[in-house]
Amino acid sequence: MLDDLEQLKDVRRQKLEALRGVGARNDGGGGGGSGGGEQAYRAAGWLANNRENFRRRVYDPLMVTVDVSRAEDAVYIENSVATRDLIALATEVQ
């Protein structure tokens, strides 16, 4: 059971690092890495350090992976995801 938990934590770390890389690809071509992925990565780190400040549970960012058969088609999907959707967090509401 503990091995499974550690594996999930490792997958979470890998996904967050992948999310961080999204900023470098989706920053409008400037290459500065200030796109939504970097913001979402920083938001996830902030949330991990401040989770106790919320009355209700706030969930980690949700990640969706889409595989495309041709790499050149990926740009259409990447450009269709709004930055605001990359940095949204879900929370419980009573």
Domain boundaries, the chain: 2-86
Find, among 84, 43, 82, 80, the residue nearest to 61 by Cα: 43
pLDDT at residue number 26 = 47
pLDDT in tens, 25-55: 544 443 444 456 677 778 888 888 998 998 8
pLDDT in tens, 47-79: 889 989 988 888 877 777 778 898 888 888 878
Amino acid letter, 48: A
The torsion region of residue 91 among left (phi > 0), alpha (psi -120 to 50) and beta comes to: beta
- Does the pTM surpass 0.85? The reply is no
Confidence check: pLDDT of 94 > 80: no
Amino acid letter, 22: V
pLDDT at residue number 44 = 82
Confidence check: pLDDT of 17 > 50: yes
